[in-house]
Amino acid sequence: MSFGLIIKNAREKLGLTQLELAKELDCSDAYITKIEKGERIPAEVLIESMAGALHLDRNEMMRLALKESNPKIYSAFRIADTATSLKSVKAAEGTGLSLQDRIVLKLFRALPPEDKMEIIGLLRAHIANLENIEAKEALDELKEEVKLQMMGGG
């Protein structure tokens, strides 16, 4: 079932109109219509609010949103999850990385620079509200490396 249809069904099950849900989420009813029709995927903050308001599983809604908004990234993470579930997660010798971390890193390295920049942007947005300076600096460094690759310097 699609993200939008799940939202619509959950809203109707609770007896809410699009306008009532929109007011609760501080957005327009036109935006709710677009979400329900599959024309828009909301930002993470709104997905969390929707999940709470509609009594839906937040993680499942985030997974569906990622699947519909960026199938390439979703597929990469599904491959990593599948590979991890087939093997025990253990640290790589000398690296301290889990098997899943190594798989995700390998998939990331294989992506074209444009896709890498998209992933960096998503990660940057995800940690924007965190006080994790080291993570922000690491993403900035990674972004610069990918920019060099895109200009043919790496």
* DSSP string for residues in 112-143: -HHHHHHHHHHHHHHHTTS--HHHHHHHHHHH
- Structural domain boundaries enclosing 128: 111-154
Same domain, 119 and 145: yes
CATH of the domain at 41: 1.10.260.40
- Domain contains 153: yes
Question: pLDDT for 89-140, tens place per residue?
Answer: 444 445 566 666 666 777 777 777 888 888 877 777 766 666 667 777 777 7
- Mean pLDDT for the chain overall: 79
Burial class (CB within 10 angstroms; exposed 0-12, middle 13-18, buried 19+) of 70: middle
Query: Are 124 and 103 contained in the same domain?
Result: no
In terms of pLDDT, which residue wins out, 11 or 137? 11
pTM: 0.52
Q: Domain check: are 78 and 120 in the same one?
A: no
Distance separating alpha carbons of residues 61 and 13, to the nearest angstrom: 17
Total domains, the chain: 3
Tokens coding 18: 């699009």
Residue 16 has pLDDT above 70, yes or no: yes
For residue 16, is it within any domain?
yes
89, 124: one domain: no
